[in-house]
Amino acid sequence: MRALVFQDVKQLGCESIADAAIVDPGDAVVQVRLAAVCGSDLHIYRGHEAGIDAGTAMGHEFVGEVVAVGKDVERIRVGDQVLAPFTTSCGDCFYCRGGLTARCERGQLFGWVEQGEGLHGGQAEAIRVPMADSTLERLPDGVPVETALLAGDVLSTGCFGAERAGAGPGATIAVIGCGPVGLMAVFSAVRLGAARVFAIDTVPERLEQARELGAEPVDFAAASPPEVLRQATHGRGADGVVEAVGTPQATRGAVDLVRPGGTIAAVGVHNEPQFALSPGEAYDKNLTYVAGRCSARHYMDRVIPWLRDGVDLGGIFSHRLSLEEGVHAYRIFDEKLEGCTKVLLKP
Ligand code: NAD
Ligand code: ZN
Ligand code: ZN
């Protein structure tokens, strides 16, 4: 089968690899209908996350049709149209029972094979999905398929971030970074009832999308976000900040925006060894800082009902390309060329 594989830093290739197949009795094989490229794939592509084997199929955002199941699979059937969260989960361990499916004792991340162990990704013609019964969900009726795909990662992650930042009636929320995750955090914060949502970035088309989703855009190259937030909040700052970038600069931005007693919810993936805020700053502002991988399997169930009333978030995709065009897709998403906000790949 064809797959977009990691070869080296900033070097991918569309290659033929071994067909996805049932290995364990709980597995399913999904023929991929649509796959998306995520900001998290860029950490691998840019070499900020190291250890992945050359030859690994990239990606963890996909929807498709189940074409085979192992003998222990009961709930999911051949022919089902399914969506997947970006990690597998058993649904039954200590963490899964508590809703922390991202930390399932048996969970694995799609698109990460290291020293021969792990899972290939969904930017391929097909993908093997372990623990299929507890990992996969059937595509919801009446939801556009491109929108449903977003529930497997960036929409769930946006909701996770917005909720943990305290988005709710009366709250003023700032979202740092208007990539797909930040945009879905804006959508979620509005949905959760936040009074005002400010969205910070410099890329014009991304700021415009944030505005369309209900945020007040702030181009930090042209205006000072802390100043804008202070003016909006009687000098206090944001009640909660969703940091959806994953750099020390973004953490610094969050510290400067949040009010005393507020919360920073970091959903950006960080690879640096130390916090960009000091214990003294955290103390002096009575800060709450929360971080981590979204439990997308858990949050999917929370966000899918939001989509049933005709919401179409497909506008977040600026490009729809073939798998064979995947190398180009990464380049334009990485370098923000051609107005690229997010890419769908159709195998
Ligand atoms: P992206 O790269 O498309 O978006 C990042 C955006 O941040 C860009 O628009 C960029 O212009 C902007 N930006 C960069 N520096 C900034 C700064 N200092 N202040 C404000 N904006 C800044 O990526 P994405 O797909 O939106 O993902 C965002 C982050 O979320 C990534 O780190 C990704 O790995 C992470 N992520 C985390 C989870 C999770 O489970 N926690 C899930 C999905 C993605
Ligand atoms: Zn992702
Ligand atoms: Zn589990």
At 284-302, the pLDDT tens digits run 999 999 999 999 999 999 9
Q: What is the pLDDT of residue 41?
A: 97
Cα–Cα distance for residue pair 161/306, rounded to 1 Å: 16
What is the number of other CB atoms lying within 10 angstroms of the CB of residue 170? 10
Nearest 5 degrees, angle CA 219-CA 225-CA 229? 130
Nearest 5 degrees, angle CA 332-CA 44-CA 48? 105
Ligand 1 atom closest to residue 342's alpha carbon, by position in its atom list: 3
Pocket lining: 58 vs ligand 1, CB cutoff 6 Å: no
Pocket lining: 38 vs ligand 1, CB cutoff 6 Å: yes
Pocket lining: 43 vs ligand 1, CB cutoff 6 Å: yes
The answer regarding whether domain 158-291 maps to CATH 3.50.50.60 reads: no
Mean pLDDT of 64-74: 98
Q: Which amino acid is at 329?
A: A
pLDDT over threshold 90, residue 312: yes
Mean pLDDT of 202-228: 97
Cα–Cα distance for residue pair 210/225, rounded to 1 Å: 15
Share of residues in the chain with pLDDT > 90 (%): 99
Mean pLDDT of 309-314: 92
pLDDT digits (tens, 9 = 90+) for 79-124: 999 999 999 999 999 999 999 999 999 999 999 999 999 999 999 9
pLDDT digits (tens, 9 = 90+) for 10-40: 999 999 999 999 999 999 999 999 999 999 9
Share of residues in the chain with pLDDT > 70 (%): 100
Could you give the 3-state DSSP secondary structure of residue 86? coil
Helices (H), 48-105: 94-97
Q: What is the DSSP letter of 315?
A: G
Q: Where are the domains of the chain?
A: 2-153+295-346, 158-291
CA distances from 35 to 86, 198, 344 (A): 11, 30, 6
Mean pLDDT of 323-337: 97
Pocket lining: 22 vs ligand 1, CB cutoff 6 Å: no
Question: What are 237's two structure tokens?
Answer: 């700052």
Ligand 1 atom closest to residue 40's alpha carbon, by position in its atom list: 34
Note the ligand closest to the C-alpha atom of 103.
3
CA of 282 to the centre of ligand 1 (A): 23
CA of 136 to the centre of ligand 3 (A): 13
Pocket lining: 106 vs ligand 1, CB cutoff 6 Å: no
Note the ligand closest to the C-alpha atom of 106.
3
Cα–Cα distance for residue pair 89/320, rounded to 1 Å: 29
Q: What is the pLDDT of residue 140?
A: 95
| Cβ–Cβ under 8 Å, residues 74 and 123 | no
Ligand 1 atom closest to residue 176's alpha carbon, by position in its atom list: 20
Considering only CA atoms, which of 76, 73, 54 is closest in space to residue 7?
54
CA of 201 to the centre of ligand 1 (A): 10
Residue of 40, 60, 207, 338 with the most ligand 1 atoms within 8 Å of its CB, for mutation: 40
Q: What is the DSSP letter of 323?
A: G
138-142, 187-191, 307-311, 338-342: the lowest-pLDDT one: 307-311
pLDDT band at 309; cut points 50, 70, 90? confident
4-13, 62-71, 194-203, 307-316: the lowest-pLDDT one: 307-316
pLDDT over threshold 90, residue 310: no
CA distances from 124 to 4, 35, 54, 87 (A): 6, 8, 15, 17
Helices (H), 1-152: 39-45, 94-97, 132-135, 145-151
Note the ligand closest to the C-alpha atom of 62.
2
Q: What is the pLDDT of residue 299?
A: 98
Question: Where does 2-153+295-346 sit in CATH, by number?
Answer: 3.90.180.10
Cα–Cα distance for residue pair 79/58, rounded to 1 Å: 24
Cα–Cα distance for residue pair 185/155, rounded to 1 Å: 7
Note the ligand closest to the C-alpha atom of 43.
1
Ligand 1 atom closest to residue 202's alpha carbon, by position in its atom list: 11
Mean pLDDT of 193-218: 97
